Amino acid sequence: MIKVFKLPDLGEGLTESEVVAWKVSPGQSVELNQIIAEVETAKAVVELPSPFTGTISALHAEPGTVVGVGEPLVSFDIEGADDDAVLASGHAPAKREANLVGYGAIVEKDGRPARRARGPVPASEAAPVVTAVVEDALAVVPDAVQERPRSTPPVRKLAKDLGVDLTQVTGTGQRGLITREDVNASASGTAAESVPVPSAVDGVRESRTPIKGVRKHTAAAMVASAFTAPQVSEFLTVDVTESMELLARLKANRAFAGLKLTPLTLVAKAVLIALGNNPTLNTRWDEAAQEIVQFHYVNLGIAAATPRGLTVPNIKDAQGLSLKELAVALAELAENARAAKTTPAELNGGTFTITNIGVFGIDAGTPMLYPGEAGILAVGAVRRQPWEHRGEIALRQVMTLSVSFDHRLVDGEQGSRFLADVGSILSDPGMVLTMI
């Protein structure tokens, strides 16, 4: 009996996923919970386990295709399946056939996920296996963020053959799907203009990349950040020679042997101390409740550039970590981000963020707030340059710090004091004794 498995809600109400890769092919036998595909959501690339034991009958989407929740994904030939268990449409019923690993809410009619009853989660319903994580963004994507044109692989091939740009075609199919008729209609009016004009680069004058995945949701988050929070930025250039000398001594200390110690390690510790003295930068604006939420812990976000885009994992309860523990946590965070092993839990719940633009040789910038946070600090490059020191000009190691904050939550005085505290610690590490 053929059963059609529809894309489930993979968590947090996500409405669609892109097929990244199939791990099976038609005619192949599969076992329950065997990994059959990798699909990318706004949160992560998730390994999708098989809901049945049987044989793959058909794959309904090629890699790169965006599939909506509730749309057919793969068909199974299930030996001995009960005919009455299959709906007249040929789709499998909403009730699961077995305990599955990693699925969200059951999909009912119209592709809408049904809510689960509250209660303990069975041990068999573990979390999805995450292989790569993307930045957690707002649930609602602004209209300004363009989605990839919805079409099937044969229609995309037809469009390519006819020289039709699908981004310029309005779909007349279900949920805006672009059909063959849409492509043919567009081609009839543009075929005469479809001859490409060669250029010096591979004969192509321009190329297009669909806005999706990390980039799509990063864009949504930044647009929301820019237009919902009144942001103010301040800058401070400080002499960090003593901090760099301290860093060299720590690297030679047995207690820190084998640890990766960088200027970011000291900056992170300085930020945590400064947040303790300036708690307004560790808050959140709750628009719905019309309340200011004060966090009594610091989940320290570290912006990380990865091949798949910008992610901001955070270190939970960082305020309680020693300098050594903080160094270990930063190293693990960076390693997981590079290897695309950051977990969803590490992406959620941040309260303050640091972005290290100095690694790119940049001195300063105006960092944009991560949505839901009151402040972000950009760390510039450490440079040797002439600087006034003890009444004379000397070559010193200098760094510029840039802070942006939500002016609804943080007054100018509070933001300035926070930045000054971070600068004081980095210019003279002994100042910590006066702050704790």
Helices (H), 173-322: 180-190, 213-228, 241-252, 263-277
**Catalytic residue check, 407:** yes
Query: Which is it for the CA torsion 178, 181, 185, 188, positive or negative?
Result: positive
First CA to last CA across the chain, in angstroms?
69
Of 117, 125, 93, residue with least CA distance to 107: 93
Distance of CA 363 to the CA centre of its chain: 25
Residues pairing with 329 in the sheet: none
**Parallel/antiparallel/unpaired status of strands 44-49 and 283-286:** unpaired
Give the Cα separation of 251 and 25 in Å (integer).
52
Q: How far is CA 92 from CA 17, 50, 236, 270, in A?
A: 20, 13, 61, 56
Q: Considering just the CA atoms, what is the radius of gyration of the chain in Å?
A: 26
Burial of 412 (0-12, 13-18, 19+ CB in 10 A): exposed
Give the Cα separation of 436 and 434 in Å (integer).
6
- Establish how many alpha carbons lie within 13 A of residue 330's alpha carbon, considering only the half-sphere containing its beta carbon: 25
For residue 397, give both structure tokens: 């190691």
Which helix (H) or strand (E) element contains residue 384? strand 383-389
Q: Which residues are catalytic, by number?
A: 407
